[in-house]
Amino acid sequence: MKKIIIPILLIIYTSNVLLSQNELEIGREFGIFTSKNLSGYAKPLVTTISQSFNSNLYTVGNYTNGWSFGLDISAVGMFIPSSQKSFDAEIPSGFGNTNLVITAEKRNQEIIMNSKGTVSQPTLYGGKSTPIFAAPQNPVAPDSFYKSVAYVEGNNISFMSGLPAVQFFVGFPTRTQLRFRFFTYPISKVSTTYYAIALNQNIDKLFNLFKDPFSPYSISLHGAYHSVSRSPGIDVQSYSFGPSFSGVYSSGIGFYLGAQYENLTGTVHAVRKSSNLNEIVNNPYEEVRLGLPLDVKLSTFSNYKIVGGISARFGIAELHADFAYASQPQLSAGVSLWFWDTGEKVKLKEDIITPKKEIIEEPFISYFKEKPLQEINAPFISKLIKPISIKLDFTREDGTHIDTLVIESYRSRQLRPFLTYVFFDENSSTIPQRYVQFTPDQAQKFSMKDLLGRSSLESYYYVLNILGQRLNEFKDAKITLTGCNSHQGKERNNKKLSTQRAKIVQDYLVNIWGVDPTRIKTVIRNLPEKASNQKDPDGIVENRRVEISSDSWDVIAPIVIEDTLRFVSPGNVVIRNSVQSESAIKGWEVVANSSTENIAYFNGENEPPNQLNINFSNNEYLKSKLHRDLQAYMRVENAEENAVSDIVKVPIKIERKDSSINIYNLILFDFNRSDLNPTNKRIAEFIDSDIRDDASVQVIGHTDRIGNDDYNKKLSDERAKSTASILKNKNADAFGVGEQDLIYDNTTPEGRFYCRTVQVIVKQKN
């Protein structure tokens, strides 16, 4: 039998086989079907339709509290499992006047007798059918007439491609998104109408489930309703609902995971067509012989689906693709075009709208003047006569307006110093919370890629995990833990404390990273061998530490990161505000964000400062959060609880350069020293091998805040020149800046250590 081309949607499939002007009429080749058999034959197609209906209705769930509008175009395809390529066809119980018939089927050249009931036959997606033979047991008509029963063959389909789905979506400030689909298709001059409406609702930010307004993760609920109708003939409804968990990162890349319940119900009603009376009279099925119409009840194989997908937002376009584990495993992909998107509007509290002065007309004022004073609603009047106004702007430090924030993007290799010290609080052997500490499961997932976008100091807080990973990689390496104390106050001669400090570091490496304790040696002392200044409070704090050394360079080598380096112009962005209020200011709040990434938060009581600074210059983490527009929102409330807010935006332009800027944040010098020890010489030689002759090289020396300014300037200059002497590039510009440019926070001992460095900055063409 000639195979049929099967479209994905039921209405198009129906239009190929159902022919009439009003009533749907099924053709001769399907006349052998009973309603029950046709339901089984088409069940895989109905499953495909149900899954197609409820696909591509959501992606990531970070729905904002602004307005949005767009168009989504997507396609879906299903893998057809072998279990859906056959169904249990109903066997005719008998025919004629005596019902004396034995049925059998022929498979692999053998006649197999069948009892009354069902026989396996191909579905629409299956292969060849197997005829059922009816052996007459009575020589008298009609039992002697009918010899066999044939079934319609399938189409050998293992993957079913769907037609593109086109849908519009609208986002509402309630963090709600609605999606709509609609089209009509004429079947025998009668319109068949399909429409769908889907609702996606973010709930984590609505109910503050994560307790963190800046969280990149979202929890959402989803629901959808679909309808296909043609009167008479087709009446189909489908609905679905379920939750999802998703996340969107600063790069615009997102993921989503969801579970969904789907249900499709409905019927197809059609009359039969036959040009041969014998086809009806001799048909073994009573329903066919009597010419009863087909009333096919639609059903699917399963009602559950698990979805996992990824998305990527580029300007107005969002690409998305997902895989669903369902009755028919499916792949889908599409693109959403955001024609209008106001983005996230940060609302810290509901604003109280302050009426403007000019709306108070003279008759209104004179009316209140005529009233006794005690009858006047004082709070209402106070809001009218004591207004408040605010104006925001993004400016440079000199006060000039910023039209565009420019980001220059360079490829960059960054060599970061690896400070193998762990510092402790006074008289404590507990690892401070600023150090990143994992569980064993988290340790297995750690990757050096987790350090991308982080500064040298931010990377340092992973020191124990970097050591643990390297010790697992280099199995022959051994380390020595040297426990120290400040030898001051409660720590004087307290070697027990030094022992406890070394022990807590060893326990972490053994219990979390599985390092064999026989590979770890401990040495206990009071002051470190190269102690910091004991006469300075900062130096005393620095001596409370555990030093980690190794017999393997691979364990303590600097960290090399291939990353993107961004320069923001202007580097210091000022949020400038002008607040006018006829009564005292009670409080104020400011939030700066870019897309869904929060950049900065400020708040306070009384009068706000006229300007608030966001410094991007040395903050790679903040730079990585910049996308599309930079936006600032400010809310001010006065003593009468009148409030007003303002919002300002500046567009962001990203320029990708064809040059690379490599930054070698080395070398870590000992306190008050400028000479290069053997380890530092080895690192400097590595830097030299990575510099081309045509490169532009700067060697910049730095110090911490300890000591005299002039002395620190001289010391940093000596450090820069000591490093430059190793480099073969004669054009290297070497100089020191002392403590004038503290590149890291000096309130912590590690911050001061990382300031005792030389930066080698190499710019060269790619």
CA torsion angle for 302, 6, 17, 190 (degrees, to 10)? 80
Instruction: Dump pLDDT digits (tens) for 101-131.
Output: 455 555 565 555 544 567 888 999 998 887 7
Cβ-proximal residues to 370 (8 Å cutoff; 6+ apart), any chain: none
Crossing angle of helices 495-511 and 463-473, in 10° steps, is 60
Strand boundaries in 141-209, DSSP class E: 148-149, 159-161, 165-172, 176-187, 190-202
Measured CA distances, 248 to 27, 62, 219, 308, 310 (Å): 52, 7, 12, 14, 10
Residue with the bigger pLDDT between 740 and 703: it is 703
Tokens found for residue 416:
């970061």
- Structure confidence at residue 11 (pLDDT): 39
The mean pLDDT value for 632-646 works out to 86
The mean pLDDT value for 443-452 works out to 88
Tokens found for residue 262:
């789907």
pLDDT band, very low/low/confident/very high, at 441 (cuts 50, 70, 90) = very high
Specify which of 188-197, 302-311, 386-395 reaches the highest per-range mean pLDDT: 302-311
Helices (H), 635-735: 678-689, 709-724
CA torsion angle for 582, 583, 585, 586 (degrees, to 10)? -150
- Structure confidence at residue 216 (pLDDT): 79
Percentage of residues of the chain with pLDDT beyond 90: 35
Q: Which CATH number fits domain 357-406+564-656: 2.60.40.1930, 3.40.50.300, 3.30.70.2740, 3.40.640.10?
A: 2.60.40.1930
Same fold, 418-557 and 666-765: yes
- Structure confidence at residue 347 (pLDDT): 45
Instruction: Report domain extents, the chain.
Output: 10-82+158-341, 357-406+564-656, 418-557, 666-765
Specify which of 11-20, 224-233, 462-471 reaches the highest per-range mean pLDDT: 462-471
Query: Reduced to 3 states, what is the DSSP secondary structure of residue 682?
Result: helix
- Structure confidence at residue 43 (pLDDT): 93
pLDDT band, very low/low/confident/very high, at 370 (cuts 50, 70, 90) = very low
The residues pairing with 579 across neighbouring beta strands, listed in sequence order, are 390
- Structure confidence at residue 424 (pLDDT): 96
Nearest to 322 by CA among 260, 262, 258: 258
pLDDT band, very low/low/confident/very high, at 6 (cuts 50, 70, 90) = very low
- Structure confidence at residue 573 (pLDDT): 92
464-473, 492-501, 531-540: the lowest-pLDDT one: 531-540
- Structure confidence at residue 137 (pLDDT): 52
Specify which of 143-147, 337-341, 345-349, 421-425 reaches the highest per-range mean pLDDT: 421-425
- Structure confidence at residue 355 (pLDDT): 35
Cα gap 641→351, rounded to integer Å? 10
Cβ-proximal residues to 282 (8 Å cutoff; 6+ apart), any chain: 95, 142, 145, 146
Fold of the CATH domain 666-765: 60s Ribosomal Protein L30; Chain: A; (3.30.1330)
pLDDT for 375 beyond 60: no
The secondary structure of 271-315 as a DSSP string is EE--S-HHHHHT-S-HHHHTTPPEEEEP--S-SEEEEEEEEEEET
Assess whether the previous peptide bond of 306 is cis (omega < 30° from 0): no
Residue pair 11/52 in contact (Cβ under 8 Å)? The answer is no
pLDDT for 489 beyond 60: yes
pLDDT band, very low/low/confident/very high, at 461 (cuts 50, 70, 90) = very high
The mean pLDDT value for 570-588 works out to 88
Cα gap 187→10, rounded to integer Å? 11
Residue with the bigger pLDDT between 278 and 695: it is 695
Residue with the bigger pLDDT between 174 and 12: it is 174
Nearest to 320 by CA among 306, 307, 334, 338: 334
317-321, 338-342, 691-695, 706-710: the lowest-pLDDT one: 706-710
Measured CA distances, 296 to 92, 119, 164, 225, 273 (Å): 18, 19, 27, 21, 16
- Structure confidence at residue 176 (pLDDT): 93
366-380, 469-483, 673-687: the lowest-pLDDT one: 366-380
760 CB neighbour count, 10 Å cutoff? 30
The mean pLDDT value for 34-57 works out to 90
Average pLDDT, the chain: 80
Global pTM reads 0.48
Residue length, the chain?
Answer: 766
pLDDT for 663 beyond 60: yes
Cα gap 380→444, rounded to integer Å? 62
Instruction: Dump pLDDT digits (tens) for 742-752.
Output: 778 888 999 98
Specify which of 467-471, 622-626, 631-635, 663-667 reaches the highest per-range mean pLDDT: 467-471
Helices (H), 581-670: 620-624
The mean pLDDT value for 499-519 works out to 95
Instruction: Dump pLDDT digits (tens) for 323-367.
Output: 999 999 999 999 999 888 876 654 433 333 333 333 333 333 333
- Structure confidence at residue 250 (pLDDT): 64
The mean pLDDT value for 532-552 works out to 91
- Structure confidence at residue 684 (pLDDT): 74
Helix, strand, coil % (nearest 5) of the chain? Answer: 20, 40, 40
- Structure confidence at residue 95 (pLDDT): 41
303 CB neighbour count, 10 Å cutoff? 14
Assess whether the previous peptide bond of 678 is cis (omega < 30° from 0): no
pLDDT for 96 beyond 50: no
Cα gap 619→693, rounded to integer Å? 30
Tokens found for residue 23:
């009533």
Nearest to 517 by CA among 479, 558, 466: 479
Fold of the CATH domain 418-557: 60s Ribosomal Protein L30; Chain: A; (3.30.1330)
Phi, psi of 428 (to 5 degrees): -125, 145
